Chain A
Amino acid sequence: MAEEVKVFGVWGSPFSCRVKIALKIKGIEYEYIEEDLQNKSSLLLKYNPVHKKIPVLLHNGKPIVESLLIIEYIDETWKDNPLLPQDPHERAQARFWAKFVDEKCLPSLWKACWAEEVERETAMGEAWKNLELFERELEGKRFFGGEAIGLVDIAAIRIAFWINVAQEAIGVEILNKEKFFILWNWIDELLGCSIIKENLPPREKLSAYYRTRAAAAKGSK
């Protein structure tokens, strides 16, 4: 029976990117539908009535939402190239760090990116604390998932690409190359994988978006 797999996303969203990467790693063909967040489609509102957000994965007509939950669904449904470890303790660790990326790390990184001069030092300190904690988890591994890309690597694409591009566009250096050389090794490895590269938004387009935002922020002072 032919599987029907669709992904509703937005070009610049790291969350829909996560889903695309997970499906690609599993070798699953899917149809991609680009949403306009200013004008959400009736399908999106039907499939995600509670949050009205992308990404949505539609599998044989059934919607799954929330990017990290979608990845777990993908991993449970298609068993090749596992994204989560087998061992329950390692699985718990993977879920913990993926959650950490979204709930603690990224908010502090974004805060540091957009901080006004006055708050920048404090914001940077907080961001660096979180990056140090996170970097430690690599422990000499090629990826957070070990030899292969896993849940935490996919979750942390937000750091590897989005923060990476944003900081350059805005003109700040949160991901300091000397301080976080271990993390940067991982970033280079990750972004060097064709599966990742092919599914990222165009760097220049994303950079232009952040440059515009940065200019607007300066202009409004």
Chain B
Amino acid sequence: MAKTDVKVLGAWPSPFVMRPRIALNLKSVEYEFLEETFGSKSPLLLQSNPVYKKIPVLIHQDKPICESLIIVQYVDEVWASGPSLLPSDPYDQALARFWAAYIDDKQWFPSVRGIALPQGEEGKAELMVQVFEGLALLEDAFDKCSQGKAFFGGDKIGYVDIALGSFLGWLKATEKMNNVKLLDETKNPNLVGWAERFCSHDAVREVMPETDKLVEFAKMLRARFKAPAS
């Protein structure tokens, strides 16, 4: 195996871990993927991310970088000769960062994840409303960012594509487990088309977990949390 000074610490089900992997793939950068064992944190992880103790961590030339979107920006800046992930215009850059922050910080994904957790019908209905509202905003954002092209980033996958696209696996798993349709061709035609293009892209395919595998994983998690404390 080729020696590489780029390592990604992560786990296959995590959407956040997908992000640096997609970014590195887009830049054609070889890296070593170090899979964390579920339920425990390796000494390397604890040493590399003492503040949050979370994955993903990128280790480049023995220096750790943490927080998935910060890692993506780092990859973009270090391997600047590869295709750019962020737009060059400061305003478009700010817009891209805004939407990525919206996706992460503003309840959207937690709402998706919340639907999968056991709860009453009322709670679920409320979360679904939040998810749909978010999707409506993102459908609109796609129009503005893509300017008629294939991705939020234009012709190629960019920062917002990576931020949102990394959640598609879990979105599909949630749909399957709950027998609901969250991404709908009638309501979100832009996003449905985009999702297909994103998932079938070379840089994404190998790191996007299969829906069925995620469903299995979610069932395992649910069983674990239901199990009586020993």
Contacts and interface: CB of A to CB of B under 8 A. Distances in A.
Interface in A162-205: none
A204 B63 CA distance: 44
Given A73-B93, A104-B51, A92 B101 contact: no
Interface residues of A, number: 23
B70 A92 contact: yes
B91 A64 contact: yes
A92 B56 CA distance: 14
Contacts of B98: 64-66, 69
Contacts of B73: 91-92, 95
Interface size grouping (class) on chain B: 20 to 34
A72 interface: yes
Given A96-B66, A96-B70, A73 B91 contact: yes
A139 interface: no
A50 B107 CA distance: 13
A51 B65 CA distance: 29
Q: Give the interface SS of chain A, mostly helix, strand, loop or mixed.
A: helix
Contacts of A92: 65, 70-71, 73-74
Contacts of A96: 65-67, 70
A77 B89 CA distance: 9
Nearest to A64: B94
B134 to A, nearest CB: 10
A88 B70 contact: no
A76 B90 contact: yes
Interface string A67-88: 0011011001100000000001
Contacts, number: 57
Interface in A120-145: 133
Contact of B65 (A64, A69, A77, A89): A89
B61 to A, nearest CB: 9
Interface in B134-178: 137
B13 to A, nearest CB: 23
A89 B101 contact: no
Contacts of A91: 73-74, 77
B78 interface: yes
B91 A69 contact: no
B102 interface: yes
A62 interface: yes
B91 A88 contact: no
B97 interface: yes
A65 B105 CA distance: 14
A50 B134 CA distance: 10
B141 to A, nearest CB: 9
A99 B94 contact: no
A65 B137 CA distance: 16
A100 interface: yes
B77 A88 contact: yes
Contacts of B74: 88-89, 91-92
A50 B94 contact: no
B71 A77 contact: no
The 5 closest A-B pairs by CB, nearest first: A76-B90, A88-B77, A92-B74, A73-B94, A64-B94
16 contacts: A50-B102, A50-B106, A59-B91, A62-B91, A66-B97, A70-B94, A72-B93, A72-B94, A73-B91, A73-B93, A88-B77, A89-B60, A91-B77, A100-B51, A104-B51, A104-B52
